[in-house]
């Protein structure tokens, strides 16, 4: 759990709106503003481009002592020696992924229900992304969970939890009551005219 101490701002990239060079600069600005975990999420890249992009983002994260997580792709995480991988409900089972990656790597999991959260924790997840706490355009299939649902998960889970889904400068303050370890953000930082300023706002809030 100490790995996640003082790492409240978790940026999830989105390759649907920017070319990689623009995205790289926005990630860099975000880190300079206080982002402490970066997850590279590429849904529109082929494997070779994903690998090349991952190497560049990893180098950037290493320079700033930021955790670097790969979304979904165990092979890419292994190939670039990322800090870890984040798995959704439709990805490889977490315990199988742990056998592949080993104990030295971080494995995060998405959860929307207490059942999902307990299963992930029992299979060895290091942290959870729980949501969507608000409606989100980044993941259109994400279903909203209530504050009560989130707190129920928080109160029954011992590993770190990041609130995710639709968090922006207008509603982020509401998440302080959710007892989360941090917030996972995409659009509110990447789409900002000044990604460093946006990240600083969220860091100061948490």
Contact by Cβ (8 Å): 131, 163: yes
Tell me which of 41, 105, 112, 154 is the catalytic residue: 41
Tell me which of 30, 110, 186, 195 is the catalytic residue: 110
Active site residue 52: no
CA distances from 66 to 86, 115, 134, 178 (A): 16, 30, 26, 24
Active site residue 179: no
Residue with tokens 């975000």: 30
Tell me which of 139, 154, 195, 196 is the catalytic residue: 139
Contact by Cβ (8 Å): 111, 129: yes
Burial category of 191 from C-beta neighbours within 10 Å (exposed 0-12, middle 13-18, buried 19 and up) = middle
| Catalytic center residues | 41, 110, 139
């Amino acid at each position: 759990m100490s790995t996640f101490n003082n790492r409240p701002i978790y940026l999830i990239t989105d390759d649907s709106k920017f070319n990689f060079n623009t995205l790289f600069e926005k990630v860099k600005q975000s880190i300079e503003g206080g982002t402490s975990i970066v997850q590279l999420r590429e849904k529109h890249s082929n494997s070779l481009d994903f690998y090349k992009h991952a190497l560049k983002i990893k180098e950037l994260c290493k320079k700033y002592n930021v955790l670097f997580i790969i979304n979904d792709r165990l092979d890419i995480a292994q190939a670039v020696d990322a800090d870890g991988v984040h798995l959704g409900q439709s990805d490889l089972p977490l315990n199988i992924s742990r056998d592949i990656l080993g104990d030295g790597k971080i494995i995060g999991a998405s959860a929307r229900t207490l059942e999902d959260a307990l299963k992930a924790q029992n299979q060895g997840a290091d942290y959870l992304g729980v949501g969507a706490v608000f409606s989100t355009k980044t993941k259109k299939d994400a279903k909203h969970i209530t504050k009560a649902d989130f707190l129920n998960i928080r109160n029954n889970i011992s590993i770190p939890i990041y609130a995710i889904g639709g968090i922006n400068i207008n509603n982020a303050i509401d998440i302080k009551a959710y007892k989360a370890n941090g917030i996972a953000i995409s659009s509110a930082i990447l789409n900002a005219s000044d990604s460093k300023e946006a990240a600083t706002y969220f860091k100061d809030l948490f």
